[in-house]
Structure 1
Amino acid sequence: MQRRLDDILPRVTSMKIFFSVGEPSGDLHGANLIRALAERRPDVECVGFGGPRMAAAGCELHQDLTQLAIMWFGRVLLHLPKFFGYLRQADEYFERERPDAVVLIDYPGFNWHVARKAHERGIPVFYYGTPQLWGWAPWRIKKMRASVDHALCKLPFEETWFRDRDVNATYVGHPYFDELRERKLDGEFVAAQQTSDRPLVAILPGSRTQEVKSNLRDMLKAARLVRQQVTEARFAIAAFKESQAEMARQMVADCGLDAEVHVGRTPELIEAATATMAVSGSVSLELLYHTKPSVILYRISRLAYAVQRRFRKVRYITLVNLLTTDDLFPETPAVYDPESPEDAHVLMPEYLTCEDRTADLAGHVVEWLTDDAKRASLESRMSDLRDRVALGGASQRAADYITAELSKQRRAA
């Protein structure tokens, strides 16, 4: 009898959490959360959908969803059979294993369906790093209310926004700052990039292949304009993976620019750079953390531009710029205008566009490379914001919240 109890008790007292994560950045945040959970509950078992970083942190992956980090409706349609298969796989697991909780990170298109399946099975759902519904799709709040039990927010204003719409929301901080605080840079590589008297401009075309295809050519064109005015400027491209690096090398060869391409060196290139050109995304927080003057580009098709004008609810697409404004949700959102006094507070000039804005990109970079006073003033303003928001500890706060809620539910049961 005692042996039978010993066999049963570990299964009863251990904690099993199913993750669903589909972005490279979410994979990073998921890995840090898994480690924080394991510190609090060594018996925690993490399974589900994620990426290689989560696997290295101890998650048993059913599928690597980061390989399907895609955007826009047409591309999603091509992969619908895979998504339906993964959703069916998750639902079968929920029925068979009854995990204690489901944790979702970003990736709302797929994760809404995972949340609904878990909710139907009576499994509590935590959304860690809530989708930016306030910026693009406020009508989706109905899905959040219906299927998400706990919304753990990354940005200070999100908790109020969600609570005002009857969602159980708690601000825990942005998990990206945890990674930045703990990251160890390759000092030798950084030093090698900084040995020259020639200033380095880092080009960051994004982690998704589609982003690289859409934005890198314009960035290289802007780099050529910079070189014409600042002949000593150097350029280095940060590639997320080797296939993107090959694409970048071909584009560099086509445009005739002298630029290095590095894989997996984004943090070091940011640290070594005097200024950067970047695609909009969470990398803006890393640029803020290192106080690097940066201009943001996000080139899309004319159709996509028309669609976003209909649905976008905020003026800025860059997280750092959203953290600098008092008017988050203007009545008629426009795009950033470098000539407008309304945008004087902006730290990272940004261009969400379907047109050629390479001259604007180059103009900002040239100013930072040639005007030390303006660059120093911008770096000081970035430092002030960083000191207010880059506090760290989001992974620990989220892990505390999740374990406390699950313990509370077990006691109630």
Structure 2
Amino acid sequence: MKLFFSVGEPSGDLHGANLIRELQRKAGNVDAIGLGGPRMQAAGCQLMRDMTDLAIMGLVPALVKLPEFFKLLAQVEQALKAERPDAVVLIDYPGFNWHVAKKAKALGIPVVYYGLPQLWAWLSYRVEKVRKYIDHPLCKLPFEEAWFRGQGCEATTYVGHPYFDELKAQTLDQQFLEQFKNNPQRLVAILPGSRRSEVQRNFALQIKAARLVHRAVPDVRFAVASYNDQQAAMAAKILGNHDLPLTIIPGKTPELIHAATCCMAVSGSVSLELLYHAKPSVMQYNLAMPSYYIMKHLVRVQYMTLPNLITTPELHPPRTQKYRRGDVVHSHVLFPEYPHWRDRSAQVASHAIEWLQNEPARLDLVRRLEQLRGTLAIGGASSRTADYILQHVVPQVANQARAA
């Protein structure tokens, strides 16, 4: 079985690697090629290109990279013609992956989208691309199957969120955690995001919020959970000389979340990790002013953080607060969130201060997070997706494996 993967985000790299391993376990030899990252390469995928440096957000950065994307798309088309894979598997990265899907469809290659884009949130007219180009749409969130099927994507199947597979398989570094167990100072973890652009846009504001927290709660210390050594160096450069009780630690995000009393994070898939650890957290996402106002008029839902979207009474309320309107935190919101182009450091800090000073309030939030975790963090998405591919996309491979 030969599969072509197109993956462009660090989180997608993780999900792709887990899926490749599940397919190998269930079907034996899997020839995986395409676009991805270091985790997929370690799982046996032959990469045409490491996409780590193309994980970008925002209109202007995307425009700057357009020539590179066009060149890459031409290379993908050539590879599809030369390799003739049994199927193309897309994970996240819709801006580029729609074009890959169109090329594959034109060549008669089945297309699987593992983790459909959140079209219910904004620019939902793009669901037409799912109908036209995606043969096997697989969704991650419970409410998405009904929504996509209601939009004419009848083959949509809910497989669960693959991030929980990784979280359930994690083994925390207990030796590393020992240093926090015997320290009387409580820890606030700062998570500046997995993309370089996120660190560049958000980290300085997170440090500003940390200073406000430290001023109100002096007996606290901070740890920055950097995605890798390169981003740790970037964070250190942005931080410069400082007087905060703060350390920058690469590659230990799960341990720092586990050890923290609360977290200040840049919104993204990390919200699911924070939910898994039932960790009170406040989310922010700083945008360029033009991007903010474009999003404000396009986004159809009130929240950007997945647990908040899952707990909202109505996904599309009659009077939708497009993107954000003010800084209202509704009672059902588990992770207060602040996406804006303006400085929201004071609001971000206020939540961390509340959890550090009001233990009953913090514990009540922990209880609510644990309740949602019990219904959402089911795990098994990688296994279910591998089964789906073997049963519905390339069933001849499964038959051969059983015969052997």
TM more than 0.5: yes
The residue number in structure 1 matching 2:160 is: 173
How far apart are 1:242 and its partner, in Å? 2.2
Shift in alpha-carbon separation, 1:213–1:288, aligned structure 2, 3 A: same
Distance in 1 (alpha carbons) for counterparts of 2:184 and 2:318: 48
Matches of 1:95 and 1:300 in 2, distance apart? Answer: 39
What is the DSSP-based 3-state SS (H/G/I as helix, E as strand, rest coil) of the residue aligned with 1:271?
helix
Structure 1 residue 379 and structure 2 residue 366: aligned? yes
SS at match of 2:120: helix
In the alignment, does 2:133 pair up with 1:147?
A: yes
TM-score normalized by the length of structure 1: 0.93
CA distance in 2, matches of 1:351, 1:197: 30
CA displacement at 1:97 relative to structure 2: 2.1
| Aligned-pair identity (%) | 52
**Uncovered stretches (5+) of structure 1, i.e. residues with no partner:** 1-14
Matches within 5 A, 1:14-413: 15-167=1-153, 168-334=155-321, 335=324, 339=328, 343-408=330-395
SS in 1 for 2:301: coil
SS of equivalent residue, structure 1 residue 333: coil
Q: Shift in Å at residue 66 of structure 1?
A: 2.1
Three-state SS of the structure 2 residue aligned to 1:378 is helix
Distance 1:338 1:355, change over 3 A: closer
Preserved contact between residue 303 and residue 309 of structure 2 (Cα < 8 Å): yes
Instruction: Give the 3 Å change call, closer, same or farther, for CA 56–390 of structure 1 in structure 2.
Output: same
> What do you get for the CA RMSD once the two structures are aligned?
1.6
1:282 to 1:326, Cα distance in 2 relative to 1, 3 A: same
Tell me, in whole angstroms, the C-alpha distance in 2 between the residues paired with 1:84 and 1:316.
32
Residues 220 and 255 in structure 1, CA contact (< 8 A), matched pair in contact too: no
Aligned 8 A contact 1:252 1:259 in 2:
no
Once the two structures are superposed, what CA deviation does each residue of 1:94-114 show, in whole Å capped at 9, x if it has no partner?
222211100000001110110
The whole-number CA distance in structure 2 between the counterparts of 1:40 and 1:194 is 41
* Contact residue 389 and residue 395 of structure 2 kept, 8 A: no
Note the residue ranges of structure 2 that are not aligned, 5 or more in a row: 399-404
Q: 1:336 to 1:35 in 2, by over 3 A?
A: farther
Structure 2 SS opposite 1:133 = coil
Query: Is the contact between residue 127 and residue 148 of structure 1 (CA under 8 Å) also seen in structure 2?
Result: yes
SS of the residue 2:44 aligns to: coil
Q: Deviations over 1:348-404 (max 9, x none)?
A: 000011112111111110111111111110000000000000010000000000110
Q: Distance in 1 between matches of 2:345 and 2:296?
A: 21
Q: State how many pairs are aligned.
A: 395
Q: Which amino acid in structure 1 is aligned with residue 341 of structure 2? A: C
The CA distance in 1 between the partners of 2:362 and 2:5, in whole Å, is 42
Any conservation in 2 of the 1:239–1:261 contact (CA below 8 Å)?
yes
Query: 1:11 is matched with which residue?
Result: none
Aligned to 1:387, what secondary structure does the other structure show? helix
Post-superposition CA distance 1:194-222 (Å, at most 9, x none) = 32111100000101111111111111111
- Kindly state the Cα deviation for residue 88 of structure 1 after the two structures are TM-superposed: 1.5
* Runs of 4+ deviating beyond 3 Å: 336-340, 407-411
Aligned to 2:401: none
Cα 1:149–1:229 shift into 2, 3 Å: same
Greater Rg by CA:
1
Structure 2 distance, partners of 1:379, 1:336, is 27
Closer/same/farther in 2, CA of residues 338 and 303 from structure 1, 3 Å limit:
closer
- Tell me which amino acid in the other structure corresponds to 1:166: G
